[in-house]
Structure formats: structure tokens, C-alpha cells
Structure 1
Amino acid sequence: MQDASRPNLTRRSILGAFAATAVTAAPFFPGVTAYARGAGDIRRLHFYSGRTGESMNVIYWIDGNYIPESLGEINHFFRDWRNNAVHNIDVRTVDFLAAAHNMLRVNEPYMLLSGYRSPQTNAMLRARSNNVAQNSLHLRGQAADVRLRSRSVRQIAQAAQACNAGGVGRYSRSDFVHFDCGAVRSWGS
């Protein structure tokens, strides 16, 4: 997780991502500039977990500062639901998810399918599927797999790619989009 006590480095990268979102996404999502304009004041994350039945609607950033208690709530919510292992979720991933959600102009929460994965869970999933990376960014709290009922995989991925903030994987057959704060890249269909 990024160190929330170093706001200059973090703030610069975050503001850059929100600014890039407004410029890059405008042709695909009319009116997105208005959403990015207010992004400097507060940032919110709205999620539902089909695995645990929990929901979260939390403001995690106000006027350039991350709220430690809110980040703790996010860390808990994104835990490995199979064994309740909690890990710090990288704020770059949190900001990436929030920016794409704002661009999609929905009130519906993301459904979280996978956030942090413990090494045991990742190994178990790798044994079941060829689509699970051995060194997955889920292991570092730097990735999330999400869906929205009101938006297609293509629409969610398009918003995520417009952010130019990390990896975006389209998994249309399984109906989810992978977000991570690694290198900017995309894959899937």
C-alpha cells in the first residue's frame, strides 16, 4: 500500500489520473469532465460483496488526504473471504476503481468478486484454472475483479482504460473486469 503520510507523491499521481480520465474519456462518456472537476474534494468507494453479503459505501479521501479509518474499512472489505486474511489495499487501485466508477455515472455499487488473495487461495485457484497468475497482483493488494449489473464488461473496461492508470482485463464469459495498479496494459475480450 502507498504510504498515506506522503501526500505530495501520492496526490500528484492521483490528480494526474483524474485529469487524464477527463481528457481521455470525454469522447466516450459525455459529461465526464464535470465528474472529474469535483474529484479533488472527496473520493468515495461503493461496493457490494456477493461472497459475504456485505456492502460498503465509504468516503476515503477528503481535500487531498486519505482517511486512515476508511482505508482500514476498505482493507477489511477486500479481504480474502475464504480465510478472512486482510491485507493493505494499494490506494492506487482504490483510486483507479473510484475514477472508473465515476465515469460510468452509476449509483449502483460495484460487485467485488476478488480483492486481496492469500497465497493459499491463489494456489488453489491456479490449480483450477490457467487464467490465474502465479504472481498475481491480488497477492499484493493491488488488484480487484468487479462487475456492474447495469454496465457491460466492455463499458466498464472502456472507462477503466480511459483512466490510463493500470492493468485492465476483460473477462466477458465470466462477466467481470480486472483492475490493477500495475503497468498500463489491457487484455481479454
Structure 2
Amino acid sequence: MTTTSASSISRRGLLGAFAATALTAAPTYSNAAGFLRGGGDIRRLRMYSGRTGESIDTIYWIEGQYIGEAINEINRFCRDWRNGQVLQIDTRTIDIVAATQNLLETDQPYTLISGYRSPQTNAMLRANSSGVARNSLHLQGKAVDLRMQGRSVNQMARAAAACRAGGVGRYSGSNFVHMDCGPVRAWGS
């Protein structure tokens, strides 16, 4: 049996132990870029996939460090659901998604429409729609398409654009927002 004295418990250990109950203040639109650059000690992501029926609610960042196990869980969650292929999702995209969720001041999970897309899936989607890019950032794990119950496409897109950290596409007709860590730009209505 191993005993641990109170003096050997680190701050990081305490944060890990209490992370599930920790509350952080939601940043305002004016300091969204600061949040992405480390303005939060704890970063959390909540999503649901109607395609697989899976949910994820994970803290993936504590005190400036990504948590490898949580990032792996996010990668698996955002896999190409059509063939099960997994690719590492760029942590910059994960940060944009989490910051946007905080800016929306809600505990509501995102609904994941599309995360990573394999070349085969992207080609199939391109054959059926003119709105799918040949070199989509989804192919590189740098983009996600999301919707959120109780928040409009415009609300989500404004929050994502406030991060000034990547591309934001509004797809009002299909009720989702595209977020990526590519160049800062916006499109759609």
C-alpha cells in the first residue's frame, strides 16, 4: 500500500482531480483572441454525433498543456464515420471550436456534422455537391462542420469569427457552420 502525503500533491494533480467541476468564465467577444492564446487554464469540448450516436465531453487542456488521451478521444470522435478512418485533428481547430462554444455562453453540446474526411469520402461528396472543395481542410484534419441546438447559424458564425483564428463558413440552408484553422476568412449566408 502506498500513502501520499498532502505536501506531495501538485497543483496540476489538484486541477486534474477537480477539472470536471471547475467553472471558467466565458470570455467576451472582445477577448476571444486572448482566449486562444492561452487565456484559459482549462479548455473543454462537448459534442454529439448523430451519425454514430456518440457523445464527448472532455477537458483537453489544463494550464497550457494538451492532454494526450483527451486529444486522442477527440480525434477518434471526429473520424470519418463512413469508413472509420482517424486522423489527428489540428489542435488549433479544437481550440477555435472550444473558444466559440465558450463565447456562446452555453453548456449545449455541438452536433458534429463532419470532421475528418478521407479522400474517398471527400470525392464522393464532391460528386454529389458543388459546395465541397477538392482540397478541403477536412482532408487534413483542420476543419469541422457543426450545429448547435438553441443557437442560430449566424450566432455561431459570429462567435467563431470573433476568434479571428481561421475560416468560418455559414451554411444557413443546411443549418451548420464550418470552422477551420486555415487563413482568416468568411463566406456564406
* Smaller-chain TM-score bracket: 0.7 to 0.9
TM superposition shift of 1:39: 4.6
Counterpart amino acid of residue 55 in structure 2? S
Shift of 1:149: 1.1
Aligned positions of 1:166-185 closer than 5 A: 166-185=166-185
CA distance in 2, matches of 1:22, 1:55: 25
**CA deviation after TM superposition for structure 1 residue 40, in Å:** 2.2
Letter in 2 for 1:116: Y
1:58 aligns with 2:58: yes
Q: Which residue of the partner structure matches residue 142 of structure 2?
A: 142
Distance, in Å, in 2 between the alignment partners of 1:61 and 1:149 is 25
Per the alignment, residue 5 of structure 2 pairs with: none
5+ long unaligned stretches in structure 2: 1-25
- Is structure 2 residue 69 aligned with structure 1 residue 69? yes
Percentage identity across paired residues of the two chains: 62
Q: Which amino acid aligns with 1:124?
A: M
Counterparts of 1:109 and 1:149, CA distance in 2: 8
Q: Classify the secondary structure of the residue corresponding to 1:173.
A: helix
Deviation at 1:78, TM superposition (A): 0.2
The DSSP-based 3-state class of the residue aligned with 2:173 is coil
TM-score (norm 2): 0.81
Query: Match for residue 4 of structure 1?
Result: none
Q: Counterparts of 1:165 and 1:87 in 2: how far apart (Å)?
A: 21
The one-character-per-residue Cα deviations of 1:105-145 (angstroms, maximum 9, x if unpaired) are 11110000000000000000000000000000000000000
Q: 1:39 to 1:53 in 2, by over 3 A?
A: farther
Matches within 5 A, 1:24-173: 25-26=29-30, 36=35, 39-173=39-173
Matches of 2:59 and 2:107 in 1, distance apart?
Answer: 14
Unaligned runs of 5+ in 1: 1-20, 27-31
Q: Over alpha carbons, which structure has the higher Rg?
A: 2
Note the aligned Cα RMSD (angstroms): 1.9
Q: How many residue pairs are counted as aligned between the two chains?
A: 161
Point out 4+ residue stretches in structure 1 off by more than 2 angstroms.
none
Letter in 2 for 1:98: A
Mapped partners of 1:66, 1:107: distance in 2: 21
